[in-house]
Amino acid sequence: MEDTNQVLVLAPLPNQAWMRFSLGEYRVGVQDAVRKLSEENIIQRLWDHDHTIWNPDPREISNRLGWLHCPTHMPLYLPEISALRDDLVRAGIDTVLLLGMGGSSLAPDLFSKTFPKKPGSPDLLVLDSTDPGAILDLQERLDPVKTIYIVSTKSGGTEETLSFLKYFYQQASPALGSEEVGNHFIAITDPGSKLVDLAQKFRFRKIFLNDPTLGGRYSALSHFGIVPATLTGIDSDRLLGSAQDVASLCSPDKPVAQNPAAILGTTLGILASLGRDKLTFIIPPDLHSFADWAEQLIAESTGKHGKGILPVVGEEPGDPEVYAQDRVFVHIYHGNGLEQLEPALNRGLSAMEASGHPVIHIGLQDLYDTGGQFLLWEMATAIAGNILQINPFDQPNVEAAKVRAREMVSAYKSTGSLPAQTPVLDTEQYALFSKYPASSLREAFRSFLAQANDSDYISVQAYLQPLTSTTAALHRLQSTLREKTRLATTIGYGPRFLHSTGQLHKGDRGNGLFILLTSSHEHDIPIPDEISSPNSSMTFGVLILAQALGDQIALADAGRRLLRIHLHQDPIAEIGFIEQQIQSS
């Protein structure tokens, strides 16, 4: 690390990738913390699975460190997975649909959106939304005869994933027949899970048993990521090779001051402890899904016990003055030097640095460097947990929303309807649910946003169909909220974010303001009660609303500030209307 110009410069990563830290006044503090990391032998202890790095109690730590060894262990499975891919291609399979949530779906989603399709290999699609429109859209695009369905859940009991399984099994059965339909399903799960029994009973084509000593958000380089990647033609040996190179750079025999994970993790932890806890990703479109993956890893690992690092993804870059003094910027891109940046962005990042905002630059040589980035950020997050004095491997608040959602579902099955809530406003366009009275949506937002403090953030939680047009509208709303308040603003699709940032929302220091968006569904579809029977006692439309209501109650139980807007009409038009009301509030 250099001591000049308030900049830390790290030696290149593998494949000519590199990192540069511009930390301004925080440089010396980070350097001191890196030296302390060395004195306490943290890197060696991490590789030795020493739980006392984080907690004297080994529970949910000692059995959660298997991800460290994925780069060296997973290549052993590649011949088996590659042989399966060849069998599928010969059988005429042209699509792989992964059914999952959170840690089971985010790495595959990255692969499907980031890596170009390889000729002759199946397409990879990912379903991680319970919105009926999202499910119907995929169903209409699929030919079951040419589709393999991957059912991916660590616990084997994830409600959303099992609902997807039951639905698509029933949809595929008429075209494939009862004897063949199971041959179009693959399971990825932990040994002994409920899914293992189901996969055996219904004669799935393949069951991949993952290493149980790693959590879902640390599973990108395990079977949960590598199986779908390999089946769709990605060179997983090259991906894992990148991770092996990073593991070598981060090994105990290398100086800690040259360890990229140690410096990155220390930087994140120290800056968060000093109030710079909004980690803002500036990233090109072809890497956006990497930020989505990192969002879960960081938020779910650090957001607990009144602490947390909030990842901010998808925010349009602005001038330095629109940001409060709680930001850290991470710029990830392809290339070997800042001179290759688009000039306007280069000037903007330089202005950020000049104004005192910390900026971390990570330049990658190619897309396969994401393999190394997985391990780099996993290690860095674990080290940040040490700095923040939290356990980065548990998720004590995730269950809160699940419990409340199950209560909603139970009430529906008993009475035929979800528990009623009374809106404070109800118009043709929307219904507003809030504990504060208001005569208009504009007045509601004026009162709601007036509660904000300088270090707060806003979270827009959209229980809507994740369409490209909807995402664009949400990003416009995100920018409007930031311009109006100078607060970091995040957006997330429900229920996906419940398995990601949902932990931080209930476990951090309570500095979030939450805007929940729900909607009516023009077409709804039933969830079969069993894999083998089409009989149904609930629909996906009911499930997603139950999840939203459960999260709303869990947030209220945690004392969080929130309002919910139920959209009666076109979500994109209504999001635009909400944006107008905020601008004029």
Give pTM, 2 decimals: 0.96
At 58-109, the pLDDT tens digits run 999 999 999 999 999 999 999 999 999 999 999 999 999 999 999 999 999 9
Name the residue with tokens 């919910």: 564
Residue of 353, 218, 373 whose CA lies nearest to 287 = 373
Copy the structure tokens of residue 261.
């994970």
Kindly report the average pLDDT of the chain as a whole number: 94
Question: What is the residue whose two structure tokens read 């392809």?
Answer: 334
**Residues 6 or more apart whose Cβ sits within 8 Å of residue 111:** 124, 225, 228, 229, 232, 234
What phi and psi values does residue 258 have, to the nearest 5 degrees? -115, 10
pLDDT, residue 11, reads: 57
Single out the residue of 338, 308, 344, 300 nearest to residue 326, CA to CA. Answer: 308
Interstrand relation of 206-209 and 95-99 (parallel, antiparallel or unpaired) = unpaired
Percent of the chain residues past pLDDT 70, beyond the cut? 96
Give the distance between the most distant pair of CA atoms in the chain: 70
Instruction: Provide the pLDDT for residue 1.
Output: 40
d(CA 278, CA 327): 5
What is the four-CA torsion angle of 545, 129, 541, 560, rounded to 10 degrees?
Answer: 0
What type of residue sits at position 311? P
d(CA 22, CA 355): 11
Give the tokens for residue 236.
């997983």
At 3 the pLDDT is: 42
254/250 Cα distance (integer angstroms): 7
Residue 97 to residue 184: CA distance in whole angstroms: 10
Query: Is 308 within 8 Å of 508 (Cβ atoms)?
Result: yes
- Smallest CA-to-CA distance from 379 within 150, 68, 162, 73 is with 68
The per-residue pLDDT for range 412-430, each reduced to its tens digit, is: 999 999 999 999 999 999 9
330 within 8 A of 362, measured Cβ to Cβ: yes
**Which structural domains are found in the chain, ordered by start?**
69-235 (3.40.50.10490), 398-583 (3.40.50.10490)
Q: Where are the alpha helices (DSSP H) in 314-397?
A: 343-354, 370-388
Rounded distance, CA 22 to CA 6, Å? 7
Residue ranges in the chain modelled with pLDDT below 70 = 1-12, 15-17, 335-344
For the stretch 266-323, pLDDT in tens is 999 999 999 999 999 999 888 899 999 999 999 999 999 999 999 999 998 888 989 9
Instruction: Give the residue among 467, 429, 425 at the shortest CA–CA distance from 569.
Output: 429
Residue 285: the pLDDT is 85
Angle formed at CA 518 by CA 512 and CA 524, multiple of 5 degrees: 150
- Report d(CA 330, CA 351) in Å as an integer: 14
